[in-house]
Amino acid sequence: MTLSTPTVSPARVFDPLAHKDDLTAFRAEVRAWLEAVVPADWQTRMTGADEADYVAFQRWWFAEMQKVGLATPHWPRDWGGADIGIRHQTIIFEEVARAGAPGPELFVISLYHLPATLFGHGSQAQRDRYLTGVKERGEVWCQGFSEPNAGSDLASLRTRAERRGDVYVVNGQKVWSSYGAFADYCLLLARTDFEAPKKQAGITYFILDMKAPGVTVRPIRQATGQSEFCEIFLDNVEIPVADRIGEENAGWMIAQSTLSAERGLIVFELSERMARAFDADLAEAKRTDAAWLKDDQLRREFTAAYSDMVTLRLMIRAMMQEVEADPHMGSATLPTYIKIHFSNILRRYTDFRVRIGGLAAQAQQPAVMGGGHQTGNAMHDFILSYAWSISGGTVEILKTVIAERVLGLPR
Ligand SMILES: Cc1cc2nc3c(=O)[nH]c(=O)nc-3n(C[C@H](O)[C@H](O)[C@H](O)COP(=O)(O)OP(=O)(O)OC[C@H]3O[C@@H](n4cnc5c(N)ncnc54)[C@H](O)[C@@H]3O)c2cc1C
């Protein structure tokens, strides 16, 4: 693939505050930019693309968004963002979904998890170095939390970090790190105190340079045929003390900031894309007078999933308003309901598409790299839907959280 698509980026950066009271103008500006920049054939070009092309395309898209301030609009102004609020962010997500634009998925940790962690707990030197690296050099980050025996029970992690002078020497293994094979840096949790009375109390948070000696990355081939994840092996890796985030043994509390980033804007964007996909499917079915339109059971399924999708969007908007009203407190329980609801609808919807697609939809064709769950390849999207009921806390664990912490049911 070549990235020769001419782009017509506006000369000036989007400034949401310039449209503080004129959301219609802001929407029009975002829409015009997307129409000018998103290559009409990007999904065709990314179908079955190899890793090198995929990464090049993702980098190109990130750079285009960054040129006009749409990569980091949610970052603070002092850091090249726009302190964007809920109303403007809603418009961006709606318009990105409407345009069927690629998602900057390679940069999710860089854009959301990293700032959520560093703004709350990083040093000034760490913010200067690493947030600037994302903004100006498009550095890719991954997250090294899970281990073979520490996923749902993350606090049981065994990767060991021992302080020796100005460095920590780290040994252990991480698993399921998304985009770890392309990452420059990793948000890493390791155990510094094996004797702590509570296992959560002995964990420290580090920045790991993925090019440091002793780091080995091994991609994991998934059921979809892709290798989004990888294992990371750490063999006497030296991490400078300056790359420790927060105090020694305070990593568990800091990790909650990282994980909270998953609960907001990311699901928001995905739900907008899902809504567009529903509408596109319905329009196509009507256009072709699809057989499922006359099947009572399938009509019921589609209508039920559609209604749930509308409810999901309302829940997300309610959550965003709570977070906007008080970014520090925000909603404690809504994100949990939203995650469960989103996983559930995505599974039902992608399963529905496999069934209405007949035999052709049963075959696993090459998918659109970067197309998320709406690649148009029904079987691929269905298999991938399972990822959402596992990542960032499995549905079973989240239901337990509701049972115990919200309903107060006995353990
Ligand atoms: C798409 C995706 C992306 C990911 N990206 C990353 C990443 O970038 N970085 C990273 O560190 N990790 C990542 N992960 C890993 C993810 O956080 C873990 O898979 C998740 O926490 C579950 O842990 P596990 O896989 O070890 O499963 P386990 O914890 O072993 O769970 C296995 C099954 O047992 C159930 N179970 C476990 N404990 C209980 C319990 N107490 N009560 C009831 N049921 C229980 C679970 O619900 C699940 O069904 C990713 C995972 C996915 C799917």
For the stretch 376-402, pLDDT in tens is 678 888 998 999 899 888 999 999 999
Give the distance (Å) from ligand 1 centre to CA of residue 273.
25
* pLDDT at res. 253: 95
| Residue with CA nearest ligand 1 atom 27 | 151
Say yes or no to pLDDT of 267 above 70.
yes
* pLDDT at res. 177: 97
For the stretch 58-71, pLDDT in tens is 999 999 998 888 88
Q: Determine whether the shortest distance from the Cβ of 145 to ligand 1 is under 6 A.
A: yes
- The closest-lying atom of ligand 1 relative to the alpha carbon of residue 152 is 29
Say yes or no to pLDDT of 6 above 60.
no
C-alpha–C-alpha distance, residues 182 and 307, integer Å: 38
Give the distance (Å) from ligand 1 centre to CA of residue 141.
20
Q: At what angle do helices 334-356 and 378-385 cross, to 10 degrees?
A: 150
**pLDDT: which is higher, 269 or 141:** 141
Give the distance (Å) from ligand 1 centre to CA of residue 319.
24
Say yes or no to pLDDT of 9 above 80.
no
* pLDDT at res. 330: 57
Give the distance (Å) from ligand 1 centre to CA of residue 392.
7
Percentage of the chain modeled with pLDDT above 90: 58
Give the distance (Å) from ligand 1 centre to CA of residue 15.
39
Of the spans 42-56, 165-179, 310-324, which averages the highest pLDDT?
Answer: 165-179
| Residue with CA nearest ligand 1 atom 50 | 391
Q: Determine whether the shortest distance from the Cβ of 136 to ligand 1 is under 6 A.
A: no
Give the distance (Å) from ligand 1 centre to CA of residue 341.
18
Report the residue among 394, 395, 401 best suited for mutation to probe ligand 1: largest number of ligand atoms under 8 A from its CB: 394
> How long a stretch of residues is the chain?
411
| Residue with CA nearest ligand 1 atom 26 | 151
* pLDDT at res. 1: 46
Q: Determine whether the shortest distance from the Cβ of 258 to ligand 1 is under 6 A.
A: no
Give the distance (Å) from ligand 1 centre to CA of residue 393.
6
Q: Determine whether the shortest distance from the Cβ of 182 to ligand 1 is under 6 A.
A: no
Say yes or no to pLDDT of 2 above 70.
no
Token pair listed for 215: 């780091």
What b-and-e string marks burial along 27-59, b requiring 16 or more CB atoms within 10 Å of the CB?
A: bebbbebbeebbbeebbebbbebeeebbbebbb
Question: Could you tell me how many helices (H) and strands (E) the chain has, helices first?
Answer: 15, 8
**125-139, 151-165, 310-324: least confidently modelled range:** 310-324
* pLDDT at res. 390: 94
Give the distance (Å) from ligand 1 centre to CA of residue 401.
15
β-strand partners of 191 = 160, 203
Averaged over 173-182, what is the pLDDT?
97
Give the distance (Å) from ligand 1 centre to CA of residue 7.
40
Residue 5: pLDDT band (50, 70, 90) is very low
Q: What's the DSSP call for residue 372?
A: T
Residue type, 13: V
Residue 4: pLDDT band (50, 70, 90) is very low
Say yes or no to pLDDT of 185 above 90.
yes
Give the distance (Å) from ligand 1 centre to CA of residue 233.
19
Cα separation values, 137 from 56, 133, 346, Å:
14, 5, 34
For the stretch 322-374, pLDDT in tens is 877 776 655 678 888 998 999 999 999 999 999 998 888 887 777 777 766 56
* pLDDT at res. 22: 83
Q: What's the DSSP call for residue 406?
A: I
**16-30, 235-249, 287-301, 389-403: least confidently modelled range:** 16-30
Q: Determine whether the shortest distance from the Cβ of 394 to ligand 1 is under 6 A.
A: yes
Residue 202: pLDDT band (50, 70, 90) is very high
Q: Determine whether the shortest distance from the Cβ of 220 to ligand 1 is under 6 A.
A: no
Q: Determine whether the shortest distance from the Cβ of 156 to ligand 1 is under 6 A.
A: no
- The closest-lying atom of ligand 1 relative to the alpha carbon of residue 148 is 26
Alpha-carbon torsion, ordered 315, 254, 188, 399, to 10 deg: -40
Report the residue among 117, 176, 224, 409 best suited for mutation to probe ligand 1: largest number of ligand atoms under 8 A from its CB: 176
For the stretch 93-141, pLDDT in tens is 889 988 989 988 899 999 999 999 999 999 999 999 999 999 999 999 9
Average pLDDT score over the chain: 89
255 CB-near residues (< 8 Å, 6+ apart): 145, 154, 189, 203, 205
